[in-house]
Chains A and B, each alone.
Chain A
Amino acid sequence: GQNIDQPTEMTATEGAIVQINCTYQTSGFNGLFWYQQHAGEAPTFLSYNVLDGLEEKGRFSSFLSRSKGYSYLLLKELQMKDSASYLCAVRDQTGGSYIPTFGRGTSLIVHP
């Protein structure tokens, strides 16, 4: 199975940049996901990385290093609406399964 670690909580100021880290251990890596979840709502897909490097999508970027078992989600120009839980999930292809395993999530609080 996988072991996924991410910080429990982070705080940041509106307009700033924040980096949320995720480390994982898996034997058959087949992709890493980041989801955003506002309280009481569905997790929404943010990004998917399967190759090393940085994927940029607007204010959000996601980085992956497979050799280090490490990813981060970078949020720029923070807005109050970015306050949410950010979930890191890793997919393992062992056994042909495409089911992601989730971390516990990082609760991001953006304050004025």
Chain B
Amino acid sequence: EAGVTQFPSHSVIEKGQTVTLRCDPISGHDNLYWYRRVMGKEIKFLLHFVKESKQDESGMPNNRFLAERTGGTYSTLKVQPAELEDSGVYFCASSQDPSSYEQYFGPGTRLTVT
């Protein structure tokens, strides 16, 4: 069974540019989560999808971040325009149901904004 995959693994962009990160959850997992880890800090929750619906987006830092999950399969996270403080590792995770204690994480996308 394939795990959670994320693309790209690394992205280096200039301030003001746009970047789109992609996450493919484990097949059959309705719940998809985005997290971010800024260097030196803890992993922080961004938002949670149940199928194509946003269940909880309380962690999204501002309106420069847009997450979508059309069709309830893969998800994208767009940052537009990117700022220096957006640099970090963006993780995606999926689970079968929201109360499941096990979330399966992807390897992350390392975003560097220069």
Contacts and interface: CB of A to CB of B under 8 A. Distances in A.
Interface of A: 4, 31, 33, 35, 40-45, 48, 50, 87, 89, 91, 97-105
> Interface majority SS on A: helix, strand, loop or mixed?
strand
B94 to A, nearest CB: 11
A15 to B, nearest CB: 29
> Interface majority SS on B: helix, strand, loop or mixed?
loop
Contacts of B49: none
B106 interface: yes
A33 B43 CA distance: 13
Query: Chain B, interface size: which category?
Result: 20 to 34
B44 A43 contact: no
Interface of B: 3-4, 33, 40-45, 48, 56, 59, 91, 98-99, 101-108
Nearest to B106: A42
A40 B6 CA distance: 13
Contacts of A103: 42
A78 to B, nearest CB: 24
